[in-house]
Structure 1
Amino acid sequence: MERFFQGLENLYASILKGVLRHKIITIVVVLGIFLFSLTLIPKTGFEFMPSMQEDQVNLGVELPVGTKLEITETVLKQMEDIIRSEVKGYDDIITEVGEASFFGLGGSAIGYKGNIRIMLPSYKERIDSSDDMKQKLRKHFNDFPSAVFSFDSSQGASFGGTTPIDILIKTEDLTKAKDIAEKIRDILKTMPEITEPQVDLKDGLPEVEIVMDRDKMYSLGLNVYSVGQEIQANLDGITASQFRDGGNEYDIVMFLADEDRNQILDLNKVFVNNQMGQRIPLASFARYQKGTGPISINRENQTRVVHVTAGTVPGTALNEVADRAQQLINQEIPADEDVLIEFSGDYEDLQKYGMRFVAIILVSVFLVFGVMASQFESFVDPFIILFAIPLSLIGVIMIYFFTGQIFNILTAVGLVMLAGIIVNNGIVLVDYTNLLRKRGMNIHDACVEAGRNRLRPILMTTLTTVLGLIPMAFFPGEGSELVQPIGKSVVGGLSVGSLFTLLLIPVIYAIVNGVGERRREKREARKLTRQKNRLEGDEA
Structure 2
Amino acid sequence: YRPFLEKCLRNHAAVGGFFLVLLCLSLALFGGGYLKSAFFPRVNSDFIVGTVELPQGGAFADSQAMRDRVVIAAEAIKDDYNSLPRYQDTPAIDNILGVAGGNKVDLLIQTVNDDLDTEEMTKQLRESLGDLSDAKDVRFDYTIRDPGKPITLLFASDSIADLEVLAGEVRLALQRYPGVFDISDSFDAPLEELVLSLKPAAEALGITLADVATQIRQAFYGEEVQRIPRDGEDVRVMVRYPEAERRAIANINAMYIRTRDGTEVPFSTIATYRVERGYQSIERLDRLRTLEVSADVSEDGAPPRAIVESVLKNEGPAWLQRYPSLTINMDGELQEEIEFQQAMVYMGSLSMLIIFGLMAVAFKSYWQPFLVLTAVPFGLMGAIFGHWLLGWQVSMFSIMGVIACAGVVVNDNLVLIDRVNTLRDEGMELIDALLQGATNRFRPIVLTSVTTFVGLVPIMLETSVQAQFLIPMVVSLSFGVMFATGVTLILVPALYLLGDDVGEFFATLTKRKIDRADADLPTV
Taking a change above 3 Å as real, the CA distance of residues 509 and 95 of structure 1, as seen in their structure-2 partners, is same
Q: 1:92 maps to which residue?
A: 94
- 8 Å Cα contact 1:17-1:448 kept in structure 2: no
Cα distance in structure 1, aligned partners of 2:353 and 2:318? 47
TM-score of the pair, normalised by structure 2: 0.71
Q: How far is the alpha carbon of 1:305 from its aligned partner?
A: 0.9
Alignment of 1:304 onto 2:289: yes
Q: How far is the alpha carbon of 1:268 from its aligned partner?
A: 8.0
Cα distance in structure 1, aligned partners of 2:3 and 2:493? 16
Cα distance in structure 1, aligned partners of 2:7 and 2:430? 16
Alignment of 1:10 onto 2:7: no
Cα distance in structure 2, aligned partners of 1:452 and 1:235? 90
TM-score of the pair, normalised by structure 1: 0.69
Q: 2:114 maps to which residue?
A: 126
Q: 1:166 maps to which residue?
A: 152
Taking a change above 3 Å as real, the CA distance of residues 90 and 336 of structure 1, as seen in their structure-2 partners, is same
Cα distance in structure 1, aligned partners of 2:54 and 2:503? 78
* One-letter amino acid of the counterpart of residue 202, structure 1: D
> What is the 5 A alignment of 1:129-168?
129-142=117-130, 146-147=134-135, 148-151=137-140, 155-156=144-145, 163-168=149-154
Q: How far is the alpha carbon of 1:374 from its aligned partner?
A: 7.5
Cα distance in structure 1, aligned partners of 2:439 and 2:213? 96
Q: 2:104 maps to which residue?
A: 113
Q: How far is the alpha carbon of 1:400 from its aligned partner?
A: 4.6
Cα distance in structure 1, aligned partners of 2:143 and 2:25? 40
Cα distance in structure 2, aligned partners of 1:465 and 1:145? 52
* One-letter amino acid of the counterpart of residue 324, structure 1: S
Taking a change above 3 Å as real, the CA distance of residues 36 and 225 of structure 1, as seen in their structure-2 partners, is farther
Cα distance in structure 1, aligned partners of 2:154 and 2:143? 23
Q: What whole-Å deviation, never above 9, does each CA across 1:178-229 have from its counterpart, x for those lacking one?
A: 332233234434545445322122235433568x9xxxxxxxx999999xx8
Segments of structure 2 that go 5 or more residues without pairing to the other structure are 82-90, 217-239, 256-266, 509-524
Q: How far is the alpha carbon of 1:447 from its aligned partner?
A: 1.0
- 8 Å Cα contact 2:43-2:143 kept in structure 1: no
Cα distance in structure 2, aligned partners of 1:231 and 1:162? 42
Alignment of 1:188 onto 2:174: yes
Segments of structure 1 that go 5 or more residues without pairing to the other structure are 1-7, 100-110, 213-220, 239-254, 271-280, 522-540
Q: 1:432 maps to which residue?
A: 419
- 8 Å Cα contact 2:8-2:15 kept in structure 1: no
Q: 1:47 maps to which residue?
A: 38
> What is the 5 A alignment of 1:344-355?
344-355=331-342
Q: 1:217 maps to which residue?
A: none
- Which residue of the other structure, out of 288, 298, 312, is the alignment partner of 1:326? 312
* One-letter amino acid of the counterpart of residue 32, structure 2: K
Cα distance in structure 2, aligned partners of 1:70 and 1:267? 27
Alignment of 1:396 onto 2:383: yes
Cα distance in structure 1, aligned partners of 2:506 and 2:143? 66
> What is the 5 A alignment of 1:321-400?
321-327=307-313, 329-330=315-316, 335-366=322-353, 368-369=355-356, 381-400=368-387
Q: How far is the alpha carbon of 1:118 from its aligned partner?
A: 1.2
- 8 Å Cα contact 2:42-2:143 kept in structure 1: no
Q: Number of matched residues?
A: 461
* One-letter amino acid of the counterpart of residue 421, structure 2: N
Cα distance in structure 2, aligned partners of 1:39 and 1:58? 36
- 8 Å Cα contact 1:388-1:497 kept in structure 2: yes
Cα distance in structure 2, aligned partners of 1:421 and 1:360? 18
Q: What whole-Å deviation, never above 9, does each CA across 1:417-468 have from its counterpart, x for those lacking one?
A: 0110112332232232233324432111111222334334333322332344
- 8 Å Cα contact 2:55-2:188 kept in structure 1: no
Q: 2:456 maps to which residue?
A: 469
Taking a change above 3 Å as real, the CA distance of residues 403 and 258 of structure 1, as seen in their structure-2 partners, is closer
* One-letter amino acid of the counterpart of residue 155, structure 1: I
Q: 2:395 maps to which residue?
A: 408
Cα distance in structure 2, aligned partners of 1:127 and 1:269? 66
SS in 2 for 1:434: helix
- 8 Å Cα contact 1:235-1:256 kept in structure 2: no
- Which residue of the other structure, out of 47, 70, 79, is the alignment partner of 1:79? 70
Give the share of equivalent positions with the same residue, in percent. 23
Q: What whole-Å deviation, never above 9, does each CA across 1:45-69 have from its counterpart, x for those lacking one?
A: 7532122212311111333434455
Taking a change above 3 Å as real, the CA distance of residues 518 and 260 of structure 1, as seen in their structure-2 partners, is closer
Of the structure 1 ranges 328-337 and 356-365, higher mean CA displacement relative to structure 2 is found in 328-337
- 8 Å Cα contact 2:154-2:330 kept in structure 1: yes
SS in 1 for 2:189: coil
Cα distance in structure 2, aligned partners of 1:323 and 1:404? 27
Alignment of 1:175 onto 2:177: no
- 8 Å Cα contact 1:47-1:318 kept in structure 2: no
SS in 2 for 1:337: coil
SS in 2 for 1:297: coil
Taking a change above 3 Å as real, the CA distance of residues 474 and 360 of structure 1, as seen in their structure-2 partners, is farther
Q: What whole-Å deviation, never above 9, does each CA across 1:480-505 have from its counterpart, x for those lacking one?
A: 44223222322343233222332332
SS in 1 for 2:281: coil
> What is the 5 A alignment of 1:438-457?
438-457=425-444
Q: How far is the alpha carbon of 1:76 from its aligned partner?
A: 2.0
Q: How far is the alpha carbon of 1:146 from its aligned partner?
A: 4.2
SS in 1 for 2:140: strand
Q: How far is the alpha carbon of 1:290 from its aligned partner?
A: 5.4
- 8 Å Cα contact 1:364-1:416 kept in structure 2: no
Q: What whole-Å deviation, never above 9, does each CA across 1:25-74 have from its counterpart, x for those lacking one?
A: 54455445545554555324753212221231111133343445555344
- 8 Å Cα contact 1:385-1:423 kept in structure 2: yes
* One-letter amino acid of the counterpart of residue 115, structure 1: D
Cα distance in structure 2, aligned partners of 1:143 and 1:71? 15
Q: How far is the alpha carbon of 1:349 from its aligned partner?
A: 0.9
Computed over aligned residues only, the root mean square deviation of the Cα atoms, in angstroms, reads 4.6
Of the structure 1 ranges 174-183 and 361-370, higher mean CA displacement relative to structure 2 is found in 361-370
Taking a change above 3 Å as real, the CA distance of residues 185 and 17 of structure 1, as seen in their structure-2 partners, is same
SS in 1 for 2:193: strand
Q: 2:229 maps to which residue?
A: none
> What is the 5 A alignment of 1:229-308?
263-264=248-249, 291=277, 293-308=278-293
